[in-house]
A and B are shown apart, each in its own frame.
Chain A
Amino acid sequence: MISRPIKEGFRGVARHWAMSLSSAIAVTVTLIIISIVMILSWHLQLFTKDIESSLSISVLVDYDHESDADKQEIRKALEDIDGVKTVTYRSKEEEFEFYISEFDDDIKEAFEPFRDDNPMHEAFYIETDSGDQIETVAAAAKKIDGVWEVNYGGQTTVDLVMAMMGIRRFGGIFVIALSLLAIFLIQNTIKLTIYARQDEITIMRNVGATNGFIRAPFVWEGIITGILGSIIPIGLTVYLYFLLYQTSHGVLFTNMFKLAAPVPFIYYVSGILLVLGILVGLIGSWLSVTRYLRWKR
C-alpha cells in the first residue's frame, strides 16, 4: 500500500509537468545559491579559526616588576580575566632569542652585545577563547599593575575576524529567506494540483478517506519535485568543487586560505542539499494540502 501514494505522486508530477518543472527550477536556483553560501561560509569558518588561533596577546612586564612574586601576581591576574584560555610565560632571555632568530646570521651577530644588557621585557602570551574577545581581554590586561605594554595582532585583524563572522551570519539569513521562497513556490504548484483534483478529493472524503490518505500523494509530489530540483545543484557542486580544488591545489591566494579536502566535505554538502530539497518539497506540499483538508467544524 506504500507504493500507491508514491505512484500517484509521480503521476501528479508528470500530469502538471510544466508547473512541476517551474517549482523544480525554483528549488534548483535556491539550492545552487545555498550551496555557494554553504561552501563559502564553511571556508570562512576555517579561515577565521586559523586566524583566531594565530592571534595572541602579548603582555610585557614593567622593568621594576620583574621579581618572581610580582610575575606570579601578574600571571594570576591575567588568568582571572574573562575569556582567557591560556597564559604562557616567556623570560626576557627567551624573548631575545626569539627576536634575533628572525634575522640572518650576520645581523644576528650585531645583536650579540645586547645579550648581557637585555632590552627585552619579561612577557606573557595570552590565547583567548574566541577572536571577538581579544579587544576586551587586552584592555583588561593593560589595567593590571606592573604591566608595561599590551600588544595584539592589531585592529585590522580583529576587524577581519568580525567581518567574516558578519558574512557568515548574513549568509545564514540569506539561506533561510531563499528556502522560504522555494517553499512558497512549491506550495503554489501543489495548490494548483489540488485544484485540478478537487472532485477526486471530494469523492475521497465522501467515501471516508482519512486526511493522511488524501494528503500522501500530494506530499510525495512535493518531495519528488524537491529531489528533481536538487539533482543539478548537487552535480554542479561536486564537479565545480573538484575542479576548483584540482586547479588551485587546495590553496587560495596564500597558505592561510586552505580549501577543505573534497572527499568527505563534498559528500556532506551534497547530502545537505538533497535533504534541503526534500524538506522544502515536503513542507511546501504539506502546508497547501493541510489548509485544504481542514474540516469546517
Chain B
Amino acid sequence: MIECTHVYKRYNNGKSGTNALYDINVSVGQGEFIYIIGPTGSGKSTLIKLLDGEEVPTKGIVKVVGIDVGSLKGRQVPIYRRNIGVVFQDYKLLPTKTVYENIAYALEVIRMKKPQIRNRTKEIMEVVGLADKGNSFPGQLSGGQQQRVAIARAIANRPKVLIADEPTGNLDPGKSDEIMDLLEKINETYGTTILMVTHDLTLVNKHRKRTVVLEHGHIVADLPEGGYVRHDQ
C-alpha cells in the first residue's frame, strides 16, 4: 500500500541544504496500522508531505496505492489525494459550518451526488459516535469530539490510506485512548491502512503495533510487533 524505496529528501535553503530524510526504506501492507515516532526534526512531517504529494523526493521512489507520487504532475495531485485521508493535530475544521456540513464538505468537493452525500455523512457520523451532533458547530464541541469530526471527514470518501499527524497531540490521555479506539475500529471495519505519527509514547506502549522510529532523517528501528519504546528513543 505504501512503498518507500531509497528515499532521500533534501531541502535547499541557502548554501547548506538540510537532509530531512536519508535512505528511507519502508513497506506498509494493506490494512496495516503503524506508528511513526521520533523527536522533533527527525523527518516525520517531511515523510507525510512526501506521502500526500505536497513534496517530491530528491531521490528514490514513494509509491502509495500503486501510484508513484513523486512523478505526479501538479494538477494530478488533487485526484491522487482522494486516495488518502489526513487528520491533523489541530483538527482544521471550518468553524462556520456544522458538524454535518464539515463532513459533507469533503464529499461535495469531490462532486458526489447530494443523496449519496447525505447517506454517507449520516453513516460516518454513526461510526465516529457523533450521530446526535450533526447540527452543532465545532466551537460547541470538546477537543476529542472535534477530532472525531476531523477523522469522519478524512474517511468520508473511504480512502485506502489514512494519515494521522499527531491526532492526540492536543488531547488528554482519556480522550487519546478514545481516539485510538476509533482509529482501530476504522482500521478493522474498512481495512484502511493507517499511518499514525505521534509523540505519545504512552499510547504507543499501550496499543502495541508495528513502530518505525525516525531520528535525524534515518530509520533507526522498525519494530514489527511494536513494544516498549523508551522515552529517550
Contact = CB atoms under 8 A, between A and B. Distances in A.
Contacts of A211: 75, 78
Interface residues of B, number: 27
Given A1-B111, A203-B92, A208 B75 contact: no
A294 interface: yes
A210 B80 CA distance: 10
Contact of B108 (A4, A206, A295): A4
Contacts of A210: 75, 78-79
Contacts of A294: 74
Interface string A248-285: 00000000000000000000000000000000000000
Interface residues of A, number: 19
Contacts of B154: 207
A205 interface: yes
B223 interface: no
B214 to A, nearest CB: 22
Given A209-B110, A296-B54, A202 B92 contact: yes
A17 interface: no
B94 A203 contact: yes
A208 B79 contact: yes
Contact of A208 (B54, B55, B74, B81): B81
A199 B80 CA distance: 21
Interface string A183-222: 0000000000000000110111111111101000000000
A297 interface: yes
B37 interface: no
A206 B157 CA distance: 12
Contacts of A202: 92
B160 interface: no
A207 B102 CA distance: 11
Given A1-B111, A207-B105, A209-B110, A295 B92 contact: no
Contacts of B109: 204, 207-209, 213
Contacts of B111: 1, 213
Contacts of B157: 207-208
B201 interface: no
A213 B54 CA distance: 18
Interface in B45-68: 52-56
B194 interface: no
Nearest to A15: B96
Contacts of A199: 92, 94
B81 A206 contact: yes
B55 A296 contact: yes
A213 B79 CA distance: 12
Contacts of B56: 297
Given A207-B81, A213-B109, A297 B75 contact: no
Nearest to B111: A1
B130 to A, nearest CB: 18
Contacts of B110: 207-209
A208 B108 contact: no
A206 B110 CA distance: 11
Q: Which residue, of A208, A211, A213, has the highest number of chain B Cβ atoms within 10 A?
A: A208
A207 B158 CA distance: 11
B21 interface: no
Nearest to B74: A295
B9 interface: no
B153 interface: yes
Interface in A1-30: 1, 4
B77 interface: yes
Given A200-B94, A210-B79, A213-B109, 14 more contacts: A202-B92, A203-B92, A205-B78, A206-B81, A206-B92, A207-B106, A207-B109, A207-B154, A209-B110, A210-B75, A211-B75, A295-B75, A297-B56, A297-B74
10 contacts: A4-B108, A206-B52, A206-B81, A207-B157, A208-B110, A210-B78, A211-B78, A213-B109, A295-B77, A297-B53
Interface of A: 1, 4, 199-200, 202-211, 213, 294-297
